[in-house]
Amino acid sequence: MASVFPFFEWCEKTALFRVISNHESVFPALETIHLFGLVLLLGTTVILCLRLLGVMMAKQPVAELAGELGKYTTSGMALMLSSGALMFVATAVRNYSNTSFWVKMVFLAAALTFHFAYFRKVIRMQDSGMVQRRGKVAAWGALILWFGVALSGRSIGFLG
- Domain boundaries defined on the chain: 5-155
- Give how far Cα 133 sits from Cα of 19, 34, 71, 77, 127, Å: 49, 33, 26, 26, 10
Measured CA to CA, the distance from residue 52 to residue 65 in angstroms comes to 10
pLDDT reported for residue 72: 97
What is the pLDDT tens value at each position of the chain, 160 positions in all?
A: 568 999 999 999 999 999 999 999 999 999 999 999 999 999 999 999 999 999 998 889 888 999 999 999 999 999 999 999 999 999 999 999 999 999 999 999 999 999 999 999 998 886 666 678 899 999 999 999 999 999 999 999 876 5
Q: What counts of helices (H) and strands (E) characterise the chain? A: 7, 0
Contact 16, 89 (CB under 8 A): yes
pLDDT reported for residue 160: 55
